[in-house]
Structure formats: structure tokens, C-alpha cells
Amino acid sequence: MRKKIAFKPVTLLLLLITFISFAKEDVKHEESGSDLKTEIKEYIQHHLLDSYDFNLFSYDNGEKHFGFPLPVILWDNGLKVFSSSKFHHGETVAEAGGSYYKLHHGKIYKVDGPNGEIIEDDHHHATNQKPLDFSITKNVVLIAMVFAIMFFMFSRMAKSYKKNNGMPKGTGRFLEPIVLYVRDEIAIPNIGEKKYKKYMSYLLTVFFFVWIVNLFGLTPIGMNVTNNIAVTLCLALITYLITTFSGNKNYWKHIFWMPGVPVPMKIILAPIELLGTIIKPFALMIRLYANITAGHVVLMSIIGMMFIFNNWLGSSLSFLLAFVLGILELLVAALQAYIFTVLSALYFGMAVEDHDHH
């Protein structure tokens, strides 16, 4: 018991150290004010992007990096696999299988030769060819990590039920109420007592996945999976596909031929309803992406303000604000997972609802 209570101050201390270490990192650049602002802006933008190497932090004016490279996998006239260390953090052109590639704004472009350059058009868009990119990026690593954590955690929980005569043990004690909450407060009220079982696997997985991934986004290793539109698009697409494929006759009838309204209204309503089926998962995608991105931008901006103010009052106020906001982000991490799951369940419920009362 005592050990568990002692854990809380340790967490607080770690949080403090995190902020302080952030502070130390950038202290060197404080000489030029406007430079610092652009640097912070760039840092935030960089932080929001995916990267090809697992970079924990950089120092010496971004000259030295602490981290490790990740494999780059390209499909460009055949499979090409090489280490991202060949890019030297975007400074050099990488060569693989007779082709040359260069990093530009966090994306890989094909260049002509070892000294090839990125050609930009008037809108600062690179016109170079982009190979199909299946690299194991930082975000993929985190997704895989969360995959492993979740599999380990929940398979152990399932085993503890067997060993312990139908009662959970260890982490299961903590996780069971959450699992039951998803079942009793999210799945059953929205989908219905009879049909909820089919969707439980997806709902539980998506809830814990989004939650854990969001929580990882708040750690100082600086990975944010859910502020990639690709990730949220993938999740929303799965929700959309499940909704569409489990839609019963009633569901489609309500989209194409709304019962209980006059015929001209039916014709007007059909395209709107059809569009609605796409807008719903689209909103799901945007919501998760935007909430997490906005949270990160605001939090990091306020942390950055500590160095811009550079006096005891402003910096400490920024620190306090960042601290409070960090706690708020913890709530948002869980809330977004909850919202995503509730809305998914709601859409599934709409798809399988029996309109007996008509």
C-alpha cells in the first residue's frame, strides 16, 4: 500500500524533470529573441511530424542527435530497404539499389543523383517523384509498442481470470471496471442488449488503443500517433466499413427511402442521408486528429513561452499554465478515446436498429 502512495510524488517529480530538461535544452539559444520564436515554431512543427528515425532529443544547435535510426522501406521498381541513418537527418542523399532519395519536410523524394536537389514549384511544393513509402517510422514503432503492451496486458488479464477462478488479478483489477464500463455504458445502451456482442472486440480495442496512444503522446519521448491523419483515417474507415457492412434493411431504407415523409422529401433526403454516412466517420477522423494536434500545439507553445519570456514571473506562470494544461490533456486523452468509442457504437447501433415501431 505504502509503495503505491509513494508513486504519486515520483510521477510529479518526473513531470517536473521533463519540463526542466526541456528548459535546459534550449537555454543556449536565448540570445536572439525572434530567432528563438521561429525556432520554437519549427520545433513544434517538427514535433508534429512523423520521422524516419527514433530521435529522442537533439543538442548542440541540432548538430548532435540522441536516438536510433529506423528501417526505410520503399517500393520503387522493387522493394528497397535501408537504414534511415543514410539520410543523416535529412542532410545527405541516400542511395539504395541505384536510386537516390532525399528527405524534404519529413517526406522522402526521389532525386536524380548523389548531388540531386529537390525542385520546388511556386507554391513550395516539391515536384520530385515520391516513391511508395512503407517505412517503419517513429509512429509505426509506437503503434507496434502499443500493440505489444495491449496484447501483453490483456492476454495476461484473461489468463488471470482462469487462474483465479473467474476473478481478475493485478492490472486486471484496474482494467476490468473499464472493460465493463465500455460494455455497460457504451456498447449496450447504444447498440442494444441483443447485438452488442459482435462489436465488443472492436470497441474495446479502439478505446484502449486510442487512450494508450494518446497517453504516450503526452510523454516526453514526443511521439503523437493520433495527430497523424493517416491513423485517425484508418480508425474512422474501419468504423465506417463495420457500420456499412452491418447495416440492415431498415438502415438502408432510412437512407434511400425515408419512411414517413412525402415522396419529394424522400428524393431530397436520400443524397443528404447518403452524404451523412460519410460525414459521420469523417467527423470522427477530424475530431480525434484535431483535438490531439491542438492539444499538443497549445501545450508546446506554452512550454515554449517559458523561454521567450525568460523572466521569473512570465516563465513561472507559463510553467504553471503548462502544468495545468498537461493535466487537462490527460483528461482529453481519455475523453477522445471515449468519444470515438461512443460515436462508433452509436453508428453501429443505428445500422443494426430494428424499427419495430413503424
Separation CA 49–CA 60 (nearest Å)? 21
Is 207 a residue that touches another protein (CB under 8 A)? no
Q: Which residue has the cell 548542440?
A: 60
Separation CA 176–CA 188 (nearest Å)? 16
Is 234 a residue that touches another protein (CB under 8 A)? yes
Q: How far is the CB of 294 from another protein (least distance, A)?
A: 8
Tally Cβ neighbours within 10 Å of residue 120: 12
Q: Kindly tell me which of 124 and 358 has the beta carbon lying closer to another protein.
A: 124
Burial of residue 191, with CB atoms counted within 10 A of its CB: 0-12 exposed, 13-18 middle, 19 or more buried: buried
| H-helix or E-strand spanning residue 344 | helix 312-352
Judged by CB under 8 A, the chain residues 280 through 299 that form the site for another protein are 283-284, 286-287, 289-291
Binding pattern for the stretch 163-182 against another protein, x by CB under 8 A and - elsewhere = ---xx--------x--xx--
Residue 73, beta-bridge partner list: 81
Is 329 a residue that touches another protein (CB under 8 A)? no
Grid coordinates representing 156 are 495476461
Binding pattern for the stretch 208-227 against another protein, x by CB under 8 A and - elsewhere = -x------------------
Q: How far is the CB of 124 from another protein (least distance, A)?
A: 11
Is 274 a residue that touches another protein (CB under 8 A)? no
Alpha helices in 133-199 (DSSP H): 138-163, 171-181, 188-191
Cα dihedral 108, 112, 117, 121, rounded to 10, equals -80
Q: How many residues bind another protein (CB under 8 A)?
A: 61
Q: For residues 292 and 224, is the Cβ–Cβ distance under 8 A?
A: yes
Binding pattern for the stretch 44-63 against another protein, x by CB under 8 A and - elsewhere = -----xx-------------
Is 79 a residue that touches another protein (CB under 8 A)? no
* Of positions 40, 94, 103, 235, contacts another protein by CB under 8 A: 235
Alpha helices in 164-228 (DSSP H): 171-181, 188-191, 200-217
Binding site for another protein (CB under 8 A): 49-50, 73, 107, 132-137, 139-140, 143-144, 147, 150-151, 154-155, 157-159, 161-162, 166-167, 176, 179-180, 183, 185, 189, 197, 200-202, 204-205, 209, 228-231, 233-235, 237-238, 283-284, 286-287, 289-291, 335, 338-339, 342-343, 346
